Structure 1
Amino acid sequence: MILPSLNITLIFTSYGPPGALNYGVFVISLAVYLTTVFANVTLMLVICLDTSLHKPMYIFLFNLAINGLIGSSAVLPKIMENLVDDMKDILYTDCILQVFFVNIYAICAYAILTLMAYDRYVSICKPLQYHNIMTPGKIRLLLFIVYYVPICSLAVQVYLTSRLPTCRYTINKLFCDNLTVVNLSCAKNTWVDLYGIFMVLAFIVLPLIFVILSYVRILFVSLKASQNARKKALKTCTPHLITFINFSLASLFSVIYNRFNFSLSKEVNVFMAVHFILIPPLLHPLIYGIRTKEISNSLKKILQRKILALGFNLKTEQTCNDTLFISTK
Structure 2
Amino acid sequence: MENQTTPPYFYLTMFKDLGYLSFVYFGVALITYGSTVLLNVVILLVILRESELHQPMYIFISCLSINGLYGTNALFPRLLRDLLSARPAVSYSACILQAFAMFTYASCEFTILTLMAHDRYVAICRPLRYHSIMTAKAVALMVAMAWLYPALTISMGTVAAVRLPLCGNEVGKLYCSNWAVVRLSCVSTAANNAYGIFIAVTTVFVPFTYILFTYVKILVICRKRSTEFKRKAFYTCVPHIVSFVTYSIAIFCEITFSRYEGELPGIVAVVLSLEFVVIPPVLNPVIYGMNFPVVRRGIKKALQKTKPTSFFNS
SS at match of 2:87: coil
1:25-79 alpha-carbon deviations (Å, 9 max, x no partner): 1111110110000000000000001000000011011111010011111111111
Alpha-carbon separation, structure 2, partners of 1:305 and 1:37? 20
1:216-248 alpha-carbon deviations (Å, 9 max, x no partner): 000111111110110000000000000111111
Residues 165, 187 of structure 2: 8 Å contact kept: yes
SS at match of 2:109: helix
**What residue number does 1:263 align with?**
263
**What residue number does 1:203 align with?**
203
Opposite residue 36 of structure 1, the aligned amino acid is T
How far off is 1:302 after superposition?
Answer: 2.6
**What residue number does 2:123 align with?**
123
Alpha-carbon separation, structure 1, partners of 2:267 and 2:67? 27
TM-score, structure 2 normalization: 0.96
How far off is 1:190 after superposition?
Answer: 2.2
**What residue number does 2:221 align with?**
221
Alpha-carbon separation, structure 2, partners of 1:175 and 1:85? 14
**Does residue 2 in structure 1 map to residue 8 in structure 2?**
no
Shift in CA distance, 17/267, structure 1 to aligned 2, threshold 3 Å: closer
SS at match of 1:16: helix
Shift in CA distance, 306/171, structure 1 to aligned 2, threshold 3 Å: closer
Residues 29, 76 of structure 1: 8 Å contact kept: yes
1:164-183 alpha-carbon deviations (Å, 9 max, x no partner): 00111111111111110001
How far off is 1:160 after superposition?
Answer: 0.2
Query: Runs of 4+ in structure 1 displaced over 2 angstroms?
Result: 1-5, 17-20, 301-307
SS at match of 2:11: strand
Residues 4, 186 of structure 2: 8 Å contact kept: no
Alpha-carbon separation, structure 1, partners of 2:242 and 2:18? 36
Residues 182, 189 of structure 2: 8 Å contact kept: no
Residues 39, 285 of structure 2: 8 Å contact kept: yes
**What residue number does 1:324 align with?**
none
How far off is 1:300 after superposition?
Answer: 1.5
1:72-125 alpha-carbon deviations (Å, 9 max, x no partner): 111111112111111211111111001100011000010000000000000000
TM-score, structure 1 normalization: 0.91
Opposite residue 14 of structure 2, the aligned amino acid is S
Opposite residue 141 of structure 2, the aligned amino acid is L
How far off is 1:262 after superposition?
Answer: 1.7
Shift in CA distance, 315/135, structure 1 to aligned 2, threshold 3 Å: farther
Aligned length: 312
SS at match of 1:4: coil
RMSD (Å) for aligned C-alpha atoms: 1.5
Alpha-carbon separation, structure 2, partners of 1:173 and 1:149? 27
How far off is 1:311 after superposition?
Answer: 3.1
Moved more, 261-270 or 65-74: 261-270
**What residue number does 1:74 align with?**
74
**What residue number does 1:193 align with?**
193
> Tell me, which stretches of 5 or more residues in structure 1 are unaligned?
319-329
Opposite residue 136 of structure 1, the aligned amino acid is A
Residues 17, 86 of structure 1: 8 Å contact kept: no
How far off is 1:18 after superposition?
Answer: 6.4
Moved more, 11-20 or 217-226: 11-20
Residues 254, 274 of structure 2: 8 Å contact kept: no
How far off is 1:301 after superposition?
Answer: 2.4
Opposite residue 9 of structure 1, the aligned amino acid is Y
Alpha-carbon separation, structure 2, partners of 1:83 and 1:178? 21
Alpha-carbon separation, structure 2, partners of 1:196 and 1:14? 24
Residues 29, 278 of structure 1: 8 Å contact kept: no
How far off is 1:4 after superposition?
Answer: 2.3
Alpha-carbon separation, structure 2, partners of 1:63 and 1:77? 22
How far off is 1:294 after superposition?
Answer: 1.6
Q: Percent identity?
A: 35
**Does residue 304 in structure 1 map to residue 273 in structure 2?**
no
**Does residue 178 in structure 1 map to residue 178 in structure 2?**
yes
Alpha-carbon separation, structure 1, partners of 2:137 and 2:88? 47
Alpha-carbon separation, structure 1, partners of 2:274 and 2:262? 17
**Does residue 157 in structure 1 map to residue 157 in structure 2?**
yes
Moved more, 294-303 or 207-216: 294-303
**Does residue 144 in structure 1 map to residue 141 in structure 2?**
no
1:269-307 alpha-carbon deviations (Å, 9 max, x no partner): 111123122111111101111112221122122323444
**What residue number does 2:285 align with?**
285
Alpha-carbon separation, structure 2, partners of 1:274 and 1:200? 19
Alpha-carbon separation, structure 2, partners of 1:9 and 1:262? 21
Residues 108, 146 of structure 2: 8 Å contact kept: yes
Structure showing greater Rg: 1
